[in-house]
Amino acid sequence: MRKSSTDEAVWLLEGELEGEWQALADLDTEDVWFAHLRFGRRPFDVPDTPDADGLPFQYGTHSFDGSPIFTLDLTRQFEM
């Protein structure tokens, strides 16, 4: 598989999300999770160094505006 440019990352992630054939607002947690996993398997043209391409995440229960709610943030991070 050809390595994609990091400049294409947002477009490719949007393609994975739209591949679910639903409006983005209608996607549920499982749809987004599987789209993120597919996106995470896609190779990108990054330096050949450790941690040049990562899939960090964070989660927790937070109470920013009212009742506590569980949040999950999925990220893809590239070394430039």
Distance CA 20, CA 55 (A): 21
pLDDT at 46 over 70: yes
On whether residue 10 sits in a domain, the answer given is yes
Question: What confidence score (pLDDT) does residue 49 get?
Answer: 94
Q: pLDDT category, 42, cuts 50, 70, 90? A: very high
On whether residue 61 sits in a domain, the answer given is yes
Residue 62 · residue 23 · CB < 8 Å:
no
> Cα Rg for the chain, rounded, in angstroms?
15
On whether residue 1 sits in a domain, the answer given is no
Q: pLDDT category, 20, cuts 50, 70, 90? A: low
Q: How many domains are contained in the chain?
A: 1
This prediction has a pTM of: 0.80
For helices 29-41 and 9-18, the axis angle rounded to 10 degrees is 140
Q: List CB contacts of 29: < 8 A, sequence separation 6 or more.
A: none
Q: pLDDT tens digit string along 47-64?
A: 999 999 999 999 999 988
Range of the domain at 57: 6-78
Residues belonging to the chain: 80
